Chains A and B, each alone.
Chain A
Amino acid sequence: MLKILIPSIFLVLTAWTTPKKQLWSTTLAYSLIIALISLSWLVNPTETGWSFLGPHMATDPLSTPLLVLTCWLLPLMILASQNHISPEPENRQRMYITLLTSLQIFLIMAFGATEMFMFYVMFEATLIPTLIIITRWGNQAERLNAGTYFLFYTLAGSLPLLVALLLLQNSTGTLSLLTLQFCPPFPLSSYADKMWWAGCLIAFLVKMPLYGAHLWLPKAHVEAPIAGSMVLAAVLLKLGGYGMMRMMMLLEPLTKELSYPFIIFALWGIIMTGSICLRQTDLKSLIAYSSVSHMGLVAAGILIQTPWGFSGALILMIAHGLTSSALFCLANTNYERTHSRTMVLARGLQMALPLMTSWWFIASLANLALPPLPNLMGELMIISSLFNWSWWTLTLTGIGTLITAAYSLYMFLMTQRGPLPKHIIALDPSHSREHLLLALHLLPLLLLILKPEIIWGWTA
Chain B
Amino acid sequence: MSAWRRVHAKLRALRGVVPSARDTHRHTWTVDGSLTLCRSFSTGRPAQNDFFKDLEAQLAAARKKMVDALPGSSWTPLQVNPNLPPERVDIVIVGGGVVGWSIAYWLKQRDGMREGHRVLVVEKDPTYSQASTVLSAGGIRQQFSLLENIQLSLASAEFLRNINVQLGVLNEDPIDLQFNHSGYLFLANEAVAHIMEENYNIQRHAGAKVSLLSPKRLKEKFPWINTDGVALASYGLENEGWFDPWTLLNAFKRKALSLGVIQCCGEVTDFTCSKKYMMTADGDLEPVKRIKSVKVQMPNSLEYQPVECAVVVNAAGAFSGKLTEMLGIGSGPKDSIAGVPLPVEPRKRYVYVAHCPEGPGLDTPFLIDYSGVYFRREGLGGNYIAGASPEEEEEPDVSNLEVDHQFFEEKVWPALANRVPAFEKLKVTSAWAGFYDYNTFDQNCIIGTHPLISNMYFATGFSGHGLQHSPAVGCAVAELILDGGFQTFDLSAFGFKRILDQEPILERNIV
Residues of A within 8 A of B (CB): 139-141, 144-145, 148-149, 279, 281-282, 338-340, 342, 344-348, 418-428
Contact = CB atoms under 8 A, between A and B. Distances in A.
B124 to A, nearest CB: 23
Given A141-B87, A339-B308, A340-B310, A421 B278 contact: no
Nearest to A419: B484
A-B CB proximity, top 10 nearest: A419-B484, A340-B310, A423-B455, A342-B117, A421-B484, A281-B116, A426-B454, A140-B88, A422-B449, A340-B90
B113 A281 contact: yes
B117 A423 contact: no
A423 B292 CA distance: 12
Contacts of A144: 76
Given A148-B71, A338-B310, A418-B484, A424 B454 contact: yes
B454 A421 contact: no
Contacts of A139: 87-88, 308
B309 A339 contact: yes
Contacts of A340: 90, 117, 309-311
Contacts of B482: 344-345, 421
B86 interface: yes
20 contacts: A139-B87, A145-B71, A148-B71, A281-B115, A281-B116, A338-B455, A339-B308, A339-B309, A340-B309, A345-B117, A345-B482, A347-B484, A422-B481, A422-B485, A423-B456, A423-B457, A426-B276, A426-B288, A427-B454, A428-B276
Interface in B73-89: 76, 86-88
Contacts of A419: 483-485
B71 A149 contact: yes
B469 interface: no
Contact of B454 (A281, A346, A425): A425
A429 B484 CA distance: 20
B290 interface: yes
Residue picked from B111, B456, B482, most chain A C-beta under 10 Å: B482
Given A281-B117, A422-B480, A425-B454, A345 B310 contact: yes
Given A144-B76, A340-B117, A345 B311 contact: yes
B210 to A, nearest CB: 34
Interface in B422-467: 448-449, 454-457
Contacts of B310: 338-340, 342, 345-346, 423
Contacts of B111: 281, 344
Residue picked from A279, A423, A426, most chain B C-beta under 10 Å: A423
B90 A345 contact: yes
A279 B116 CA distance: 10
Given A145-B71, A338-B310, A342-B310, A140 B87 contact: yes
Nearest to A421: B484
A321 to B, nearest CB: 28
Contacts of B71: 145, 148-149
Contacts, number: 85
A420 B363 CA distance: 50
Chain B interface mostly: mixed
Contact of A345 (B113, B115, B481): B481
Residue picked from B71, B115, B311, most chain A C-beta under 10 Å: B311
Residue picked from A141, A279, A344, most chain B C-beta under 10 Å: A344
A126 B340 CA distance: 56
Nearest to B310: A340
Contacts of B457: 422-423
A208 B481 CA distance: 38
Given A141-B87, A339-B293, 7 more contacts: A282-B115, A340-B90, A340-B117, A342-B90, A418-B484, A423-B456, A426-B288
Given A281-B116, A339-B310, A348 B484 contact: yes
A152 to B, nearest CB: 9
Interface range on chain B: under 10, 10 to 19, 20 to 34, or 35 or more? 35 or more
A330 to B, nearest CB: 17
Contacts of B87: 139-141
B303 to A, nearest CB: 15
A83 to B, nearest CB: 12
A423 B449 contact: yes
Interface string B297-310: 00000000000111
A282 B485 CA distance: 22
A342 B116 contact: yes
Nearest to B278: A426
A421 B86 CA distance: 24
Nearest to A347: B484
Nearest to A341: B90
Interface in B132-181: none
Interface string B310-327: 110000000000000000
Interface in B260-308: 276, 278, 288, 290, 292-293, 308
Contact of A420 (B90, B117, B484): B484
A282 to B, nearest CB: 8
Nearest to B88: A140
A183 B360 CA distance: 104
A282 B455 CA distance: 19
Contacts of A425: 454
A344 B111 CA distance: 9
Contact of A140 (B86, B288, B480, B481): B86
Nearest to B456: A423
A259 B278 CA distance: 62
A141 B86 CA distance: 7
Contacts of B290: 426
Nearest to B113: A281
A302 B480 CA distance: 49
Nearest to A340: B310
B88 to A, nearest CB: 5
Contacts of B485: 419, 422
Contacts of B481: 345, 421-423
Contacts of B455: 338, 423-424
Interface string B90-122: 110000000000000000000101011110000
A149 B115 CA distance: 19
A169 to B, nearest CB: 34
Contacts of A426: 276, 278, 288, 290, 454
A183 B91 CA distance: 61
A70 B1 CA distance: 67
A93 to B, nearest CB: 20
Residue picked from A338, A347, A420, A422, most chain B C-beta under 10 Å: A422
Nearest to A342: B117
A348 B483 CA distance: 10
A424 B90 CA distance: 13
Nearest to B118: A342
A111 B147 CA distance: 71
A61 B389 CA distance: 86
Contacts of B483: 419, 421
A419 B479 CA distance: 11
Contacts of A339: 88, 292-293, 308-310
A335 B118 CA distance: 15
Contacts of A281: 111, 113, 115-117
Contacts of A141: 86-87
B368 to A, nearest CB: 36
Nearest to A422: B449
Nearest to A145: B71
Nearest to A348: B484
Contacts of B91: 345
B235 to A, nearest CB: 40
Contacts of A428: 276
Contacts of A348: 484
A248 B76 CA distance: 41
Contacts of B454: 423-427
B309 A344 contact: no
Contacts of B484: 347-348, 418-422
Nearest to B80: A141
Nearest to A346: B310
